[in-house]
Structure 1
Amino acid sequence: MAEVGGLEPIGAVQRTKVGREATEPMREDIRLLGTILGETVREQNGEAVFELVERARVESFRVRRSEIDRAELASMFDGIDIHQAIPVIRAFTHFALLANVAEDIHRERRRVIHVAAGEPPQDSSLAATYAKLDTARLDAATVSDALAGALVSPVITAHPTETRRRTVFDTQHRITELMRLRMKGHEHTDDGRGIERELRRNILTLWQTALIRLSRLKIQDEIETGLRYYAAAFFEVVPRVNAEVRNALRYRWPDTDLLAEPILRPGSWIGGDRDGNPNVTAEVVRLATGSAAYTALEHYFTEITALEEELSMSARLVKISDALTALADQCREPARADEPYRRALRAIHARLTTTAYDILDRQPEHELDLGLDRYDTPAELLADLDVVDESLRTNGSAVLADDRLARLREAVHVFGFHLSGLDMRQNSEVHEEVIAELLAWAGVHPDYASLSEPDRVELLAAEVATRRPLTSDGAELSELARKELDIVAAAARAVRVLGPAAVPNYVISMCQSVSDMLEVAVLLKEVGLLDVSGSQAYAPVRIVPLFETIDDLQRGSSILEQALDLPVYRALVSARGDSQEVMLGYSDSNKDGGYLAANWALYRAELDLVESARKTGIRLRLFHGRGGTVGRGGGPSYDAIRAQPPGAVRGSLRITEQGEVIAAKYAEPQIAHRNLETLLAATLEASLLDIEGLGDAAGPAYDVLDDIAARAQRSYAELVHETPGFVEYFKASTPVSEIGALNIGSRPTSRKPTTSISDLRAIPWVLAWSQSRVMLPGWYGTGTAFEDWINQGDGRLEVLRDLYQRWPFFRTVLSNMAQVLAKSDMGLAAHYSELVDDTELRRRVFDKIVAEHTRTIRMHKLITGQDDLLADNPALARSVFNRFPYLEPLNHLQVELLRRYRSGDDDELVQRGILLTMSGLATALRNSG
């Protein structure tokens, strides 16, 4: 698909190149991978298919250069034989995947070059953050207060638009490793195999592997998929990064106990998030928590076994501590009588084996039965490892303690026996229905749903404050109520067996009132996860309201303050160190009010919540429910975190990681390290430095955004919620109806079986607009809002230009919007609009979209002063330039196959072709859902 080019070894680069010269190695990588792929296509599928792929590639570039009309390229695929269409789709999909590899390698290459050139560390690196902290000359008290209870938690979710199968994932990883060796100037692998030959072998494997599943992904598969990132990267990277950050901060503030607990702790929703997913059951919760625990202990067994091999020191040659002697004496194996460290590790191994017998549903390998007692807590395991560490260090072997043992100790500290905290989540409507049934069954109230909000709060507060249960084992309950109680009981079992960190949070979707929060408290009390009737409240699971719509975001701080006014709820918060978490929904707020209105509502909500925390004396932690794409809160994490309002971070941040961005960020150690470092760097800066930079001008700036956001919401609502036939246009002009057949996740595309936009999940809403290249959720309404506001008076454009220069939030909003606009293509969108049979509807809706698109680009250029949408994001500019012509055939083929499928063509290959185009476009766009 492209000619082969040479590559200058990275070690030979002595200076930082810029422009086209800097990106030539990446283009050479793309040419090499494309050439191998093209030759593979020719060998496997014949000359005719190869020629069709090549012709489509050449014509796509001619379209980009405006040498031919787009319709000429589209006509290539009119009536194409489906047996020829499938390999063409697969070829361009694989090219997109290989281009991702080349871009990732190039980012690594550029970072190494910058370091080798002696340039200052780049923003978003911890080195750059430390330099900023040094310049700020912060006192220890300020830092200690800001980082008390510090937590940075990327939460892996079961919202996959990640379409790659495990086999494809693994093969791509091998190709990445080969390209990394090649980047460093190697021609052969460590075992002597030629790198180019190995690339050909793996690309052939990729070509001969099916891209999509024949059956829908099950939750069990999603659980396994989420856990694979631990062996792939987290076990290696997370402990190391925690140690690095802790040591760096304590070096700067040596008289503090900063980060006594690990700051970086991944979390998960996979198997606990049942909002709109009927497939989550009590058995699934047990599987999710049990599989996580198994993964943690399996890792510990592997590392301890390796340490037994490594720490072979003889008691005749080294000194040991008394504590180490006592630990080693628990293992009385005569063959190891002279090897105290090995015996000590064998004792640890044996106790961990007994622990595994007690807490796991399946046993890892490396079992060792010495008849020793189990570890009741991870702290006990850590204490024994600390004994080994202390003995090594006090007897001249610190260099040994600093290696595998140090990593294992850090791992136990962060992963415990639970691995990662599993959040529970359910919709408030379900809670209301279940609680109403429980109250009626217990004779407390026959019709809870009929009560006013104050009466509900009074009733629920009284229930939370009593230990009397509402149900018994033999209670005759509906299927829904029994299922919900069983699920929460499974969470209680996980807390009891694996510790409180196993299920740390219960998230309430569509939380709109205090009663929504208290209903969850009653459910938790029912299974023993809450007790506030004694002198000391017991609350191992935090209740987390999720505010999602624009209206709920605006009322969120009021709801929180009302809850905290209740003695019973305040007792729960006090039991958790006066800490309250609140989740903010980026996806549904965007779907509800549009891009700019949602982003501003989120910012305002954070300001209000920070003020509520100050007034009530609690410590607030925000949980950001961001998706991969800008329309769902995506965009560069570093900029997004730094764009938070003052006081909104304070050392703690939880953030969802969704869809295809999970693999893009955490599939392997180097990339994972970089992305986790970015989260930590941004969190430290947002917590310890004055980033907003508005000072006394904050109030007027907020007033400006209040006005503009309201205008944007009206413009968005006029199209999405008020235009007759808009839903029909959306369904016809995008593949949203077909997304449900793409076997990429376990949950339905809608919360309810309706055609309402409000009931449609945000993922298919955004994914469908991305596939059709409209990208509407990431920009619509913004252009009109800016234009209307600017036209209201002289000097207003200068106000916005000033805010763009000074205010990270405003700059980030415009930058993310520009990324979306750069990926959109109204020419391709017009092709999709032709799928709408109603000509009048098509013109009415599409003309509005095109006009707003043009207006939004014009406003962006006017405010930023940049003619290039991607002037501030050269990496994405390179990506768009290099890969987007390869997307063109996928879009045209998708439209062609959608037309056939909807016309009644029931050929199974036609539907498979549609799904393949979705997979290819999602892979190419990288953050599409």
Structure 2
Amino acid sequence: MNEELRESELEAEAGAPPLIGGISSRDAADILFDLLMDVVRRHQPELEAVFAGGANISGFSPELMARALQAQGIWFQLLSIADQNAAMRRRRHIERERGRESLRGTFDHVLADAVDEGISPKEIEDLLRSLRIRPVITAHPTESKRVTVLEKYRKIYLLLRELEGARWTERERGAILADIRDQIELVWMTGELHLEKPTVEHEVLRGLHFFDETLFEKAPEMMALLDGALKRNYPDQQFELPPFFQFGSWIGADRDGNPHVTTSVTGWTLRQNALAALRHYRERIVALARALSITERALPVPQGFRQELEHALNMSGDQQIIAQRNPGEPYRQFLTCILRKLDATTRRAEGQEARSRHAALRHADELIHELRLVERALEEANSPGIAADLVRPVRRAVELFRFSTVRLDLRENTTRTTQALQSLWWAGTGHGEGNPPELGSREWRTWLLHELTRPLTTERVIEALPAETTELIAMFAQAAEIRRGLDRDAFGSFILSMTRSVDDILGGYLLAKEGGLFLDTAGTEICAMPIVPLFETIDDLRAAPAIMREALAIPLIRRSTHWQGGLQEVMIGYSDSNKDGGFVASNWELAKAQVSLTLVGEETGTAIAFFHGRGGSVSRGGAPTGRAIAAQPAGSIRGRFRVTEQGEVVSYKYANKGTSLYQMELLASSVLEHALKSERERALRPSREFDDAMEALAGASRAAYTGLITHPDLVTYFQAASPLEEISMLNIGSRPARRFGANSLKDLRAIPWVFAWAQNRHLITGWYGVGSALQSMLEVRGDKGADLLDRMFKESRLFRLIIDEVEKILAVVDLEIASDYAGLVSDERVRDTIFALIEKELALTAKMVLKVSGSASPAERFPQFRASLAERLPTINEVNREQVELLRRFRASDNDQEREAFKSALLLSINTVAAGLGATG
């Protein structure tokens, strides 16, 4: 299930009733179902039997099956809308009945606890100064809904919210219902699938859609929520909030395995990102000017602001025109001057700078400063409410989004960077016809360090390098140019995938140097862009502490990290570590790596901050936000937190304004709470006994998991018993399913690996090996082992999170459906062997997990989750059966026209199962 629904478990446990406001969640689902059935009856009446469970799909044509799947997919989306709406009403109910401080995931809740625990205003102030939170929207291909469909679902959500009002007459209520039905019908006639594979440009515009719809408006509102919470809980203290919450993005700059991302595409992306922010600011400032119709006769103008206004009017070149248009209205006049400069800035971003007769704003800080002048003038004139409610949200929007909307991360893998570095070696002088030193050798390290200390000269002719190397260096050169131009914050970091050594990191610095990203002309002192290693597999996570200890001893890296705020960021990968070692081993190795790396930061004097590479599904780190952060090792966050927001998670979190505000506050308050409490909490206090137990559980779990994925028959089984190969045909992303075009599990990306196991209802990535691990503990330690597991379940936050999420996954696994997929494996021996292994481990895992948790059945402890799942499972099961039939027919057909018809329906079935489960990869 998707993260938004899982997070609602906290509210269910808080005791909110199922009926709040005008209609219950059940009522809303019934209303939406009836309206969907109206549309189905009108356009395809024979499909009504599919929802009643009485249809014989084997007789359906591929076209009719596609229509059935489309209707089922729409139903899943409507259910999600009803669930999101219900979750919002539960939160509002708790806030009304018990106060905002009783609502988990809010700033008030965290700060009320802080006051109770005696945390001083000074400690809060110090933490706020260092707070840095950045959700990063990635280009990972896990979202299958088109933007035009997302827009229609958003309208349905808004109309459903309208329906709750008690003021409507029957006639007006009927009109709202008709509007909802019309939107459902439009979705039916639009179709959710991309008919063609989306380009990177499509992905960029889709990402910006969420900023236009919700984030530009709601992020400043989230800051205001913290403002209010601070005033209520620390009324005698004045706090100045820095812009600690900013968004990042990989879309348009993530080259890792995506040949479609080029320097040209990244340049286009930067322009779109800038224009999105600038256009939003224009709308807000126009509205602000319209609102601030304050005459100097009614409200005296502070002398300092009057002087600033005179200066702005003189610099505008249109002093007389502006003054005559708004006579006696100083704030409108000043905002008009700002608009002239903002328009010039927009033209510059569009590449039309020569056409502007007004000076453009050099950077976002100038706009922030001018909005602050308006804000302070109103405060000095005794109108602090207007300043806080009208001007401050606009100023904060500029602080958060600047002139770039997001901080764009560059990303490439070490295979590509190493090839580029070898090209630079060949291009250097004195190497003749020989080969570069062996990677990892002392000679290779010596060359890297020599090149980094050698002043930049014109000796090397970049144009003579291979095209791939030239393109990679051009990427860094572009970043250097943009930093000096439109916005120094347009770029974030360079993420180096598949980092395996210090040499890999040094190579990143050298390429940045060649691109001109060093602050000094010679290119030997300080790199302006952070180079962030990404440790993905279990072996990489284990090697990370030693690699970073050695790296942070290198003077160039120490100087660079010191200039960057005394901070070295490290990215850790949840997806590949899970694919590599299974669920328990992945979680444990990630925790250990963070503990060790935090100690490395303390030893070296350079703090290490973590960038969490999470996905939407549980096996890719997609546990509920609040609980996942609360389970991170003590002291590993300290107010600095970056996390990827991938694919379908973005639309679940940010498509609707209320949900997006909640999700941002939840993320920020959870980081704040961890920073304040983690090193004081018993649940996160290191325990040698618990650590030894986790080590044993991880080892046993990984052994069982490895035994399955390395089985010689697994690849044959997996390819036949899942839509793995067919997923690559689904046009949900611009990148290939494999990094280098190989046809092996090793090169298969973690996303399709998880995606395919979810589609066929095996979901091994979220549970396989857990039963063997728990049984091993009990067999080896007996009653003492049982007592230890019981204490860990009650006292270890990480172990509890693992057990909870495995138990939820077990409620989704269905062996009867899985056996239907296994029937697609033609080799009976392969089919029976692999399925028997899965069946045996599943039974053991269910038995062991329920023994530990004390539940009678999977997810018994999570009523909200179970109810939502029960609503979906009958339809998901039906879609799974339809998918099996389509796979069988598609693979058996040798008629091109027939295959194409089956292909369309098959891809729609993949999309529909993903919608039902609430997650793809």
Aligned to 1:693: 682
* Distance apart, 1:359 and its partner CA: 3.5
Q: Deviations over 1:742-791 (max 9, x none)?
A: 11000000112222112001111111111111111111111111111211
Query: RMSD of aligned C-alpha atoms?
Result: 2.5
Select which of 812, 815, 827 maps to 1:826. Answer: 815
Q: In 1, Cα distance between the equivalents of 2:566 and 2:857?
A: 48
Q: Using a 3 Å threshold, how does the CA distance of structure 1 residues 584 and 19 change in structure 2: closer, same or farther?
A: same
Q: Using a 3 Å threshold, how does the CA distance of structure 1 residues 580 and 250 change in structure 2: closer, same or farther?
A: farther
The answer to whether 1:895 aligns with 2:892 is no
**SS of residue matched to 2:58:** coil
Does structure 2 retain, via aligned residues, the 8 Å contact 1:504–1:540? no
Q: Using a 3 Å threshold, how does the CA distance of structure 1 residues 244 and 368 change in structure 2: closer, same or farther?
A: farther
AA at the equivalent of 2:206? T
Aligned to 2:25: 26
The answer to whether 1:100 aligns with 2:117 is no
Does structure 2 retain, via aligned residues, the 8 Å contact 1:587–1:626? yes
Q: In 1, Cα distance between the equivalents of 2:884 and 2:58?
A: 10
Q: In 1, Cα distance between the equivalents of 2:239 and 2:265?
A: 37
Select which of 139, 146, 149 maps to 1:168. Answer: 149
* Distance apart, 1:259 and its partner CA: 6.2
* Distance apart, 1:490 and its partner CA: 2.2
Q: Using a 3 Å threshold, how does the CA distance of structure 1 residues 615 and 730 change in structure 2: closer, same or farther?
A: same
* Distance apart, 1:472 and its partner CA: 4.9
* Distance apart, 1:184 and its partner CA: 3.3
Does structure 1 retain, via aligned residues, the 8 Å contact 2:204–2:251? yes
Does structure 1 retain, via aligned residues, the 8 Å contact 2:684–2:796? no
Q: Using a 3 Å threshold, how does the CA distance of structure 1 residues 695 and 668 change in structure 2: closer, same or farther?
A: closer
Alignment of 1:732-747 (within 5 A): 732-747=720-735
Q: Using a 3 Å threshold, how does the CA distance of structure 1 residues 33 and 229 change in structure 2: closer, same or farther?
A: same
Q: Deviations over 1:370-414 (max 9, x none)?
A: x44222221111111111112112113223222231111111111
Q: Using a 3 Å threshold, how does the CA distance of structure 1 residues 148 and 346 change in structure 2: closer, same or farther?
A: closer
TM-score, normalised to structure 1, is: 0.92
Q: Deviations over 1:426-456 (max 9, x none)?
A: 0011111101101210226553352534333
Aligned to 1:409: 395
Aligned to 2:9: none
Aligned to 1:132: 113
Q: In 1, Cα distance between the equivalents of 2:174 and 2:334?
A: 41
- Percent of pairs identical after alignment? 31
Does structure 1 retain, via aligned residues, the 8 Å contact 2:697–2:777? yes
Does structure 1 retain, via aligned residues, the 8 Å contact 2:408–2:493? yes
Does structure 2 retain, via aligned residues, the 8 Å contact 1:285–1:491? no
Q: In 2, Cα distance between the equivalents of 1:357 and 1:528?
A: 26
Alignment of 1:43-192 (within 5 A): 43-45=42-44, 47-50=45-48, 52-56=49-53, 76-118=56-98, 121-187=102-168
* Distance apart, 1:725 and its partner CA: 1.7
* Distance apart, 1:671 and its partner CA: 0.3
Aligned to 2:185: 204
Aligned to 1:911: 903
Q: Deviations over 1:150-203 (max 9, x none)?
A: 111111110132111112101111110111111233547999982111111111
Moved more, 403-412 or 557-566: 403-412
Aligned to 2:5: none
Structure 1: which 5+ residue stretches go unaligned?
A: 1-14, 60-72
Aligned to 1:298: 279
Q: In 1, Cα distance between the equivalents of 2:892 and 2:645?
A: 38
AA at the equivalent of 2:333? R
Does structure 1 retain, via aligned residues, the 8 Å contact 2:876–2:913? yes
Select which of 585, 597, 601 maps to 2:573. Answer: 585
AA at the equivalent of 2:91? R
* Distance apart, 1:108 and its partner CA: 1.4
Select which of 403, 409, 412 maps to 1:423. Answer: 409
* Distance apart, 1:21 and its partner CA: 11
Does structure 2 retain, via aligned residues, the 8 Å contact 1:532–1:571? no
Select which of 384, 390, 398 maps to 2:384. Answer: 398
Q: In 2, Cα distance between the equivalents of 1:135 and 1:337?
A: 53
Aligned to 1:728: 716
Alignment of 1:257-336 (within 5 A): 260-329=241-310, 330=313, 331-333=319-321, 334-336=324-326
**SS of residue matched to 2:24:** helix
Q: Deviations over 1:454-492 (max 9, x none)?
A: 333332122222332587566312121122122222222
**SS of residue matched to 2:135:** strand
Q: In 1, Cα distance between the equivalents of 2:345 and 2:628?
A: 42
Q: In 2, Cα distance between the equivalents of 1:507 and 1:474?
A: 23
AA at the equivalent of 1:728? T
Select which of 607, 614, 618 maps to 2:602. Answer: 614
* Distance apart, 1:562 and its partner CA: 0.2
Structure 2: which 5+ residue stretches go unaligned?
A: 1-13, 314-318
Moved more, 315-324 or 588-597: 315-324
Moved more, 127-136 or 695-704: 695-704
Alignment of 1:516-555 (within 5 A): 516-531=504-519, 537-555=525-543
Does structure 2 retain, via aligned residues, the 8 Å contact 1:427–1:510? yes
* Distance apart, 1:858 and its partner CA: 1.0
Q: In 1, Cα distance between the equivalents of 2:428 and 2:587?
A: 44
Q: In 1, Cα distance between the equivalents of 2:22 and 2:442?
A: 63
Does structure 2 retain, via aligned residues, the 8 Å contact 1:324–1:341? no
AA at the equivalent of 1:541? M
Select which of 830, 833, 843 maps to 1:854. Answer: 843
Does structure 2 retain, via aligned residues, the 8 Å contact 1:293–1:360? no
**SS of residue matched to 2:464:** coil
Q: Using a 3 Å threshold, how does the CA distance of structure 1 residues 643 and 296 change in structure 2: closer, same or farther?
A: same
Q: In 2, Cα distance between the equivalents of 1:191 and 1:323?
A: 53
Q: In 2, Cα distance between the equivalents of 1:81 and 1:416?
A: 53
**SS of residue matched to 2:610:** strand
Aligned to 1:3: none
The answer to whether 1:878 aligns with 2:867 is yes
AA at the equivalent of 1:29? A
* Distance apart, 1:253 and its partner CA: 5.9
Q: Deviations over 1:115-147 (max 9, x none)?
A: 333366232222221222122211345445544
Q: Deviations over 1:644-686 (max 9, x none)?
A: 0011110010000011111000012100011111111210111
Q: Deviations over 1:781-834 (max 9, x none)?
A: 111111112110221011011011011111111111222221111111110011
Select which of 194, 203, 227 maps to 1:213. Answer: 194
* Distance apart, 1:538 and its partner CA: 3.7
**SS of residue matched to 1:584:** strand
Alignment of 1:401-480 (within 5 A): 401-443=387-429, 446-469=434-457, 472=460, 475-480=463-468
Q: Using a 3 Å threshold, how does the CA distance of structure 1 residues 902 and 473 change in structure 2: closer, same or farther?
A: same
Q: In 1, Cα distance between the equivalents of 2:355 and 2:115?
A: 49
**SS of residue matched to 1:869:** coil
